Amino acid sequence: MFSGTSEVDAYGDYRQYFIVVNKLFSVDFIARANLLCSGNNSGYIFDAAAPICYKINTIPRTKSEAIDFCQESGGHLLRIKTDKKQKFVEVLPLEETDSIQKYRIDGENIDEEWKFSNGERITRFYWYPGEPNGHYNSIGLRVEHGGKWDDVKNNNEHGCICEKEIE
């Protein structure tokens, strides 16, 4: 990340900006994003490199419980649509416990087609080799596989990663 000042729109107004992964973000934007993420003590964290507003939860939940949990704080299960977002999750400090080896993200196999919960088709996949093995119809990030995808059963309990849109 680079921090510096820049003349804005030739007005001679100097403001501080951050360049994050070839994108220019105003300090005002970053402060606003942090505020939107953390509002109402929701537990979300803003990461400007992705950019994403997310939270990780280690309480074991079924898929429907994980969806409800994310919605209660104004979000949804994490939707991985880009290489950048997949690389982001691959470096998250996901904690493996006796009860948590996987973290739920958004995605379900409906009639042989993988889709997000909003109905959008999933076009980029980051499966661990040998996955999906066809046994289950939801997506989880497997901790021991560095955040690569694994198909998981809806009723099995896993941790979850929530995402909140930044408006």
Q: Give the model confidence (pLDDT) of 78-135 as tens digits.
A: 999 999 999 999 998 888 888 899 999 999 998 889 999 999 999 999 999 999 987 8
Assign 30 a pLDDT band (cuts: 50, 70, 90).
Answer: low
Amino acid at 142: R
Looking at the chain, the number of H-run helices and the number of E-run strands are 3, 11
Task: For residue 128, give the DSSP letter.
Answer: P
Q: How many domains does the chain have?
A: 1
Domain that includes residue 46, residue range = 2-163
The pLDDT score that the predictor gives to residue 49 is: 76
CATH of the domain at 118: 3.10.100.10
The pLDDT score that the predictor gives to residue 64 is: 97
Please state the pTM of the whole predicted model. Answer: 0.79
Q: Please say if the pLDDT value at position 156 is more than 90.
A: yes
